[in-house]
Amino acid sequence: MSEVYADRRVRLRDRCAAAGSPAALVSRPANVRYLAGGSPPGAVLLLGPDEDVLLCPTPPGGDPVEGRLDELLRQAVLPPAGGDPAVAAVDLARKAGADALAVEEHHLTVARHRAMGSTAPQLRLADLGGAVEQLRIVKDEDEIACLRIAAEIADQALGELLESILVGRTERHLALELERRLVDHGADGAAFATSVGTGPNSGRGGHRPSDRRVEEGDFLSVCLGANYRGYRCEIGRTFVIGTTPADWQIELYELVFAAQRAGRESLVPGAGYRDVDRAARQILDGAGHGEAVPPLTGHGVGLEIDEDPQLAPSAMGKLDACVPVTVEPGVHLPGRGGVRIDDTLVVRQEADGGPELLTITTKELLAL
């Protein structure tokens, strides 16, 4: 397993060397985790000219390191008063003879970057950009296995909720119960803040659960995900409460379902990010709901819940095999509510059976 992390570091090191930097400093936590197997709070990873070192601050009273760190990696734990590990890393790179260090300018603050620069003025600080994020887009089968388990856990938690009585309960309580069930089924935690929307709140992306109670006739939309060994999936479903959905509810549901299916079916290696988005979006646009559609209809998932690629009208780039993404179009009608259907899938070659659906809870319109 350790070779996985070492291999990833070699790939990053090759990119840096090609760009003229003999050393790189990775500070964004998900990137540190990807390359080192774990990311203790505040730790930074130095890919030095000679060796790779994880520099960790000692947390107050806590363990110096946690997680499944790569044992091939040297770990340096700084004393409590040891200051910023990024500054210590600059010093280490300089002593190892590096004349340039690529850093994550999209993560480091201006103040931190300046402190690093003044530690070793003769060391040139270059920009690593999103190099690690780019490496992270295509997943290996171990990563996909973690996502698959995360999706199973979310399916289980959601399935149990559907068997319970919902009318009269608040959005907030339903969300808390889902998060408890995720952990009961083996998640390390929720992948993101669980969203539960009822009635007029249904179908709103990222809706924060309120004290509104579930009522007969409501749409109920739920979006949740599990974090399993750092990997995060996402599932969203919309249900109707009571025995007979209204005509407008059935119509809206069928429309969003058709859009989501079109998005899913367009997930093939080589498809443009924007083409997947368009496949889903044009169905909603065509029905006059263009304004009500969110700016993204999907995104990558992995060590973060919102990774590259972005499936959006102006996104550049094409899908590869083994890229997990969400497909999550929705329509929200102000004052009335709406529908959102969200799956996590892995792009696969057609010869391998096409897109692999990780979140398998039914997408029929269930009346609960």
Which residue ranges make up the site for a second copy (CB under 8 A)?
58-63, 66, 80-81, 103, 105-114, 127, 172-173, 176, 179-180, 183, 203-208, 293-296, 314, 330, 332, 340
Q: Token digits for 70?
A: 């790569």
Provide, rounded to whole angstroms, the least separation between the CB of residue 296 and a second copy: 5
Provide, rounded to whole angstroms, the least separation between the CB of residue 105 and a second copy: 4
- Look up residue 141 and give its amino acid: E
Beta pairing, strands 235-240 & 226-228: unpaired
Could you give the CA distance from residue 175 to residue 143 in angstroms, rounded to a whole number? Answer: 27
Q: Which of residues 280 and 322 has its CB atom nearest to a second copy in the complex?
A: 280
Q: How many CB atoms lie within 10 A of CB 288?
A: 9
Using an 8 Å Cβ cutoff, are 298 and 276 in contact?
A: yes
Q: Which of residues 107 and 348 has its CB atom nearest to a second copy in the complex?
A: 107
State CA 302 to chain mean position distance. Answer: 5
Q: Which of residues 80 and 97 has its CB atom nearest to a second copy in the complex?
A: 80
Provide, rounded to whole angstroms, the least separation between the CB of residue 359 and a second copy: 19
Provide, rounded to whole angstroms, the least separation between the CB of residue 179 and a second copy: 8
Using an 8 Å Cβ cutoff, are 328 and 343 in contact?
A: yes
- Look up residue 62 and give its amino acid: G
Q: Which of residues 25 and 144 has its CB atom nearest to a second copy in the complex?
A: 25
How many alpha carbons lie under 13 Å from residue 279 in its C-beta half-sphere?
20
Q: Which of residues 310 and 361 has its CB atom nearest to a second copy in the complex?
A: 310
Provide, rounded to whole angstroms, the least separation between the CB of residue 205 and a second copy: 3
- Partnered with residue 235 across adjacent β-strands are 224
